[in-house]
Amino acid sequence: MSQNSHHSSNLHQTNGQEGFSCEWKAGQKNHQALSDNNLPGNKVSVLYLFDNYNWSGVKPEAYKQEPGNFANIVRNIIVGARGESCHFEVRYFEIAEGGFSSLEKHHHEHVIICVRGQGRLRLGREIHHMNFLDIAYISPDTPHQLLNCGKEPFGFFCIVDRERDLPQELAPEDLI
């Protein structure tokens, strides 16, 4: 067994080879540091366990600190804000029924991955419907907005550079 085998009770010997079992014991929790490493800026490797669109150790926060033209949306920074040396953030946003993000543009690019419900993505003057596991790449300076027009929450991962410019909020008439 490896020296890290104490972190998972699912690790076992199979035909003389070390491997992971696909069997999971209900109620098992492993939201802990997995191992120390010596990379500059890194504290530890961490496993954030998923539970009903929440992740262990990650607290939902306000979408933005300043008031603006958005409604019923929360943000979770899962990776990139706790001392990791990565140059990106993995964030999860959830928009409740009738909610929407701000209509904005910025110089940085980002990727959106729909993981809950359905939503609409405005890219410039076009509207696109997003379903489970649809992925959108939003190029620099592209006006965009995400909207929930359904009854269920619309949740999506957003992968973005950790260091980035501030968004410029737009009005719908700016798109004409």
Measure the CA–CA gap between 144 and 123, rounded to whole angstroms. 5
CB 112 within 8 A of CB 170: no
CB 131 within 8 A of CB 162: no
CB 136 within 8 A of CB 130: yes
Sort 90 into a burial class: Cβ within 10 Å, 0-12 / 13-18 / 19+: buried
Structure token pair of residue 77: 């920074």
149 as an active site residue: the answer is no
Active-site residue, selected from the candidate residues 86, 114, 149, 158: 158
Alpha helices in 10-74 (DSSP H): none
Active site residues: 158
